[in-house]
Amino acid sequence: MVDSIAATSFLGHRPTTYGGFCFKLDVSVKRSRLVHISSPLVKSQAIELTKEAFKIPRDIGLNRKPLSWPLENRADNPALHNPLLRQERMGSGWLTAIFEWEGVLIEDNPELEKQAWLLLSQEEGKPPPLTFLLRRIEGMKTEQAVSEVLCWSRDPSYVKRLANRKEEIHQSLQGGIYRFKPGSEEFVKILKKQKIPMALVSTRPRKVLETAILSVGGIKGVFTVILAAEDVYRGKPDPEMFNYAAQLMCFDPQRCIVFGDSNLTVEAAHDARMKCVAVAGKHPVYELAAADLVVRRLDEISIIDLKNLAALEEPEMEMEEEEDDRTLSSIATLDDFW
């Protein structure tokens, strides 16, 4: 009977918990009922019950894995006894840059993309895509745009044929002429000199991308990873391409900096827990305010800016004793109640 009273006298009922959470707490108990159960045994049992009732989990409603620390590619590693190796770790090799191709490294003409879609719709007898649809499919894979946004077909073979034809039209309009954006080639060479790993991502076919890299010259062999449309299932705003690039580079996403030219890139980068630098051009500066940094030219960015973007503060390590003190202090306020 003592156990029954200890379990019900304070709360008025046995607490119902789901996953460590107590959803109902009723402390409206009259003092007169507690006069007869003031024995030390009952009091100690009730205090233990109160501890469980007031225990609040650290991560409410979030199923996140704790961040392992220190990171494998952090800036400094005190365990290294060789000062030269430690100095190298404090350089720039602990962060990586992920570049988009068109609109970031080379000049981009949005009108060519629009004309390619219009010509394809005329060939296939489809309704011409409206302007807001063209803005929505910007950065998507062509197959994804045809089937999910334009809704021209769901047949995989037909969608693939339309995607190939659209790329052929775009390449014929483009003429195979590629030019670096002002400051982009110089910026890539600076990152190479500083030994910062770089990746290149694009929703263009790999054959088109490799041909373009060879035609511009100057950046052949500087990218550790090159991802094209064939390497992923979905394009922006899905973060799959950026996540895959970080995985291949063996870098923590929080150490990656994405360089893009649209809000879809910013959205995908942030969903991947990466920082994003937006290059204004196709879109004005005020439309790219969601990015972590907005520039007009890549050579406006310094290595210090990149380090500040990729900086990751060490999480505070909370001691269990401190948590117990907080729990006991919350219970101490009920001493007068007993």
Q: What is the pLDDT of residue 49?
A: 55
pLDDT at residue 316 greater than cutoff 60? no
Q: What is the pLDDT of residues 94-148, one digit of tens each?
A: 789 999 998 899 988 888 888 998 999 998 888 888 888 888 888 788 888 888 8
Peptide bond into 57 cis (omega under 30): no
Q: What is the pLDDT of residue 3?
A: 47
pLDDT at residue 242 greater than cutoff 90? yes
CB atoms within 10 A of CB 95: 26
What would the two tokens of residue 148 be? Answer: 């999910």
3-state secondary structure of 62: coil
Q: What is the pLDDT of residues 145-190, one digit of tens each?
A: 888 888 888 888 998 999 889 989 988 888 878 889 999 999 999 9
Q: What is the pLDDT of residue 217?
A: 78
The pTM (predicted TM-score) of the whole model is 0.67
Q: What is the pLDDT of residues 33-79, one digit of tens each?
A: 444 444 566 566 656 655 554 444 444 334 444 444 444 545 556 67
Q: What is the pLDDT of residues 254-296, one digit of tens each?
A: 889 999 999 999 999 999 999 999 999 888 889 999 999 999 9
3-state secondary structure of 113: helix
Q: What is the pLDDT of residue 245?
A: 94
Q: What is the pLDDT of residue 39?
A: 58
- For the residues 21-28, what does the mean pLDDT come to? 41
Position with higher pLDDT, 218 vs 278: 278
Position with higher pLDDT, 304 vs 278: 278
Q: What is the pLDDT of residue 275?
A: 94
Q: What is the pLDDT of residue 96?
A: 92
Q: Are 298 and 181 in contact (CB under 8 A)?
A: yes
Distances (CA, A) of 179 to 95, 229, 336: 27, 21, 78
Position with higher pLDDT, 203 vs 310: 203
Q: How far apart are CA 278 and CA 258, in angstroms?
A: 8
Q: What is the pLDDT of residue 154?
A: 87
